[in-house]
Structure 1
Amino acid sequence: MKKARSLAAAGLAALLALTGTACSGSGDGSSQAGGQVTLKLWTGFTGGDRPGYDTIVKDFEKAHPNIKIESTVQPWDTIQQKLPSAWLTGQGPDIAAVSSDPNAVAQYVKTNSVLPITNTGSGYTKINTDAFAPGIVKEFTYNGKLYGVPANFATLSLYYNKTLFKNAGIANPPTTVAEMKQDAKKLTTGGKYGIALADNNTIQMWPILQWLEGGDIVNSKNCSVLQTSEGQKSLTDWTNLVVKDKVSPVGLTGAEADSLFSAGKAAMEMNGPWAAPGYKSAGVDFGIVKIPTGVDGKSATLGSVAPLSISAKTKHPKEAQEFLAFWTGKATQKKFSLQTGFPPVRTDLVDDAELKANKTVAVFQSQTADSRMYLPQVPSATKVDSDAYVPLIGNITRGKSLASETATAAKTIDSLTGCQQ
């Protein structure tokens, strides 16, 4: 789960190494010499999908010989530390993937540090927002203006260990949440866990379980619904499975959950396409299927997206927006998907024969319509996660009172979001 994993040590090292160089340059971080424009780009894509992003940059430069992209890849922690002040002072990059958290765009909008994107439409050099996966345009729109495009898009699917399923006498992976719970119990045996459920330093899994059980975290007014009967009910079964049936270790980070599955010690895990190469390298005989359907008969999963935005102080807004148009273009996204296993950020590739033939891409892409964002545009969403939701899951899976803990989390959430019933 490299998108959301904390890399504090690596981030500090990168920060020290980059202190004297990354922010130096020509005022706004871009330059122009001999008719050629140079755009500086910062991203946090340090994982196995990095070559796919490098390919986008190379292909753009080949198609636009008058524009050079100076790309700097660094840990998300480093970007989050440096970018706010860099953009405020005009010393940062022209373009940046500002965070692995899509809600982070809001902070740059508040400080007038990010450029509204205006060249939307359907032409080759325009950003075709109509083709984006559900919820993305809304996620990056504030006061009627668009401030970012998806740097990538992924859904979480269910990975399962074929060997462990066979050994447990289970012929097929679960297709309903009821089967998923039954299988998790049956597969918890002989020092093996039925499922690896991370609850901290990870891309969130527990909201998916809540959605499948008919619950949620906040309502349309950004008020907590964790304390409602529906909210508590949506957490009850899975909490009991962890506390009483020990289907997953308690307090797993994303890295620890990945390690359990890689070692063949967990039979299931919800994860994104970035995980597949590592599991293959570990020699796990695994399959990937859609998240099972919930109690309402419908499937739901988490949609994960990182925003790509433009500095308000760039001297080359036209070229920067042209780069975003290329990045999210149909041909680019198809090539990126085939190279990385990520689904494209666009919905108009769903019937593409080559993508459908790629089993990894096909599974994740098939869930695009079922995907939901985590705390989309909820005020102080990052703190809602860190100060309320993560502690809630940590406490209830350690046996503390569900009613008491959801009530406490609700108070924290409502105070952070400014909820007014």
Structure 2
Amino acid sequence: MHHRKAFTAVAVAAAVGLALTGCSGGGGSPEASGPVQLTVWTGFTGGDAPGYEQIVKDFNASQSKINVTMTAEPWDTIQQKLPSAWLTGQGPDIAAPAPDPNVIAQYVETKSVLPITKTGTGTTDINVDSFAPALVNEFTYDDTLYAVPANYATLSLYYNKALFQAAGISSPPTTVDELKADAKKLTNGDTYGLVLADNNTIQMWPVLQWLEGGDVVDSKNCSVLGTAEGKASLKPWVDLVVNDKISPVGLTGAEADALFSAGKAAMEINGPWAAPGYKSAGIDLGIAAVPKATNGKPVTLGSTAPLAISAKTKHPDEAQEFLAYWTGKAAQKTFSLASGFPSLRTDLADDPDLAADPVVSIFASQVPDSRLYLPQVPKGTQVDTDAYVPLIGNLTRGTSLDDATATASTTIDQITGCSS
């Protein structure tokens, strides 16, 4: 899976697809003697897919009263079909509606998702007190929880050890200044120093801004892109792309991945889902923490996808029991070891098996310093697609910093309803 928005579709449960058949509740009433049937839709089709599949297999094997069938399709397919499916009761019992956690707000507004009430400390309860607090806050509206995190990932710095050695660089950068210097030094001919996707991708440009002390919006959801700090946080990276050609312009996430997999990029900021593909491609792979910011502090982006229950499910208790298992301690440990993702649970932070895993440990070490992108910003998804993505595209194609940030700021403030 690349960047949680651009994936190569693979069949996880072929033939079932996302056809709008059946209804919430598993496609009908089960026989009295049979298990409750629950259906789940997700967009997890990449290298981490086997980890999610294992959760379902283990849950089904752990008891006999509930049977879960999960299908995975590209995110854009789910985002096209799920809203109307849930409104009419023709969708799945449970779904990951999008890779963007902010999308839950629209389902709350349309009353399409079930409030989650079965929380607590029991084995069949959803242990929200053991989740990273930001993940609980992200899915809570008017003091009511409407989704649980399907996962939690941080972004790390992938680097090609062979290209580093050829350039005479002995170790990955640990500061933002070293990152910029290395990106320039590693750019040579058709090989790029640091590939930066700017569309159909998990956002990495906000990480670059955070490293330079900038941000996208303030606590009032007003744009700060046009402030002195905002422009200063964008300028060095725009200059590196435009003037020093450290990355092609206009890359999708998949295109950035392809360059790194082909050995044509020395560095990329990406999540744990990318590691299996890079290893399969034969890259002499290194993974390091994102370098420290100009203020000397570490920061990276944290990413999660929501899992929510249809408001029209016929089996709300069973659906919540499955979410309790999915987010439970045993399942999360198994998933982390299978996928390289850090656990979404804080009570696994010191688990020795996870600490010993070379991939998990890198991503897990950055959880305390990670930040969500536009957390609970009103219409945050639209802020990204209508303002931030065009901003980066315009800047890297030559639009002046003043003009591009002014346009983006006006759009953001209109979307969020900011009144500074």
Q: Shorter chain as normaliser: what TM range?
A: over 0.9
Task: Give the aligned partner of residue 161 of structure 1.
Answer: 160
After superposition, where does 1:131-150 map in structure 2 within 5 Å? 131-150=130-149
Q: Secondary structure at the match of 2:312?
A: coil
1:32 aligns with 2:25: no
Contact between 1:15 and 1:78, CA under 8 Å: does it hold in 2? no
Partner of 2:65: 66
State which drifts further: 409-418 or 259-268. 259-268
State the Cα deviation string for residues 201-233 of structure 1 (Å, max 9, x = none): 111110000011100000111100000000001
Provide the residue aligned with 1:96 in structure 2.
Answer: 95
**2:301 equivalent in structure 1:** 302
Tell me the amino acid that sits aligned with residue 30 of structure 2: Q
Q: Which residue of 1 aligns with 2:4?
A: 4
Does 158-167 or 66-75 show the bigger shift? Answer: 66-75
Match in the other structure for 2:354: 355
Q: Which moved more, 1:164-173 or 1:71-80?
A: 71-80
Q: Which residue of 2 aligns with 1:316?
A: 315
Question: How far does residue 83 in structure 1 lie from its aligned partner after superposition?
Answer: 1.0
Instruction: Write the distance in 1 (CA, Å) between the matches of 2:244 and 2:24.
Output: 60
Residue aligning to 1:242: 241
For residue 5 of structure 1, report the CA deviation from its aligned partner.
Answer: 3.4
Looking at structure 1, the residues matched to 412 and 128 of structure 2 have their Cα atoms a distance apart, in angstroms, of 31
Q: Which residue of 1 aligns with 2:386?
A: 387
- The letter for the 2-side match of 1:327 is W
* Secondary structure of the corresponding residue to residue 151 of structure 2: strand
1:361-416 superposed Cα distances (whole Å, 9 cap, x missing partner): 10001111111111111111111111111111111112210011101100000000
Unaligned runs of 5+ in 2: none
Question: Counterpart of 1:40 in 2: which secondary structure?
Answer: strand
- Going from structure 1 to structure 2, the CA distance change for 1:28 and 1:333 (only over 3 Å counts) comes to closer
Residues 114-123 or 405-414, more deviating: 114-123
Q: CA RMSD in A?
A: 1.9
TM-score by length of 1: 0.95
| Amino acid aligned to 1:32 | P
Contact kept, 8 Å, 2:153 with 2:363, in 1: the verdict is: yes
Q: Residue 148 of structure 1 aligns to which amino acid in structure 2?
A: A
Map 1:108-127 to 2 at 5 A.
108-127=107-126
Give the Cα separation in 2 of the matches to 1:307 and 1:109. Answer: 13
Q: Could you report, residue by residue, the CA deviation over 1:137-180 in whole angstroms, capped at 9, with x for unpaired residues?
A: 11101111000001111110000111111111111100011110
String of CA shifts for 1:177-214, please: whole Å, max 9, x gaps: 11101111111124321100111111111000001110
Alpha-carbon distance in structure 2 between the residues aligned to 1:402 and 1:30:
56
Indicate the residue corresponding to 1:23 in structure 2.
21
SS in 2 for 1:160: strand
Evaluate the alpha carbon distance shift between residue 364 and residue 320 of structure 1 in structure 2; reply closer, same or farther with a 3 A threshold.
same
CA contact (8 A) 1:158 1:289 kept: yes
In structure 1, list runs of 5 or more residues that go unmatched: none
Q: Is residue 30–residue 94 contact of structure 1 (8 Å, CA) maintained in 2?
A: no
CA offsets 1:1-36 (integer angstroms, 9 cap, x no match): 53533469x69xx999857x5422477745332242
1:198 correspondence with 2:211? no
Aligned to 1:212: 211
Letter of the 2:324 counterpart: A
Question: Please, which moves more after superposition, 286-295 or 187-196?
Answer: 187-196
Please name the residue that 1:418 is paired with. 417
- In the TM superposition, residue 133 of structure 1 has moved relative to its aligned partner by 2.5
3-state SS of 1:348 partner: helix
Q: For 2:112, give the aligned amino acid.
A: S
Equivalent pair of 1:250/1:398 in contact (CA under 8 Å): yes
Paired with 1:277 and 1:117, the residues of 2 have a C-alpha distance of: 34
How far apart, in 2, do the equivalents of 1:27 and 1:158 lie?
A: 42
Partner SS, residue 245 of structure 1 = coil
Q: Report if aligned partners of 1:327, 1:333 keep a CA contact under 8 Å in 2.
A: yes
In structure 1, distance between residues paired with 2:385 and 2:277 = 27
| Structure-1 residue corresponding to 2:330 | 331
Letter in 1 for 2:53: D
State how far apart, in whole Å, the 1-side matches of 2:383 and 2:17 are: 31
- TM-score, normalisation: structure 2: 0.95
Conserved 8 A contact 1:83-1:92: yes
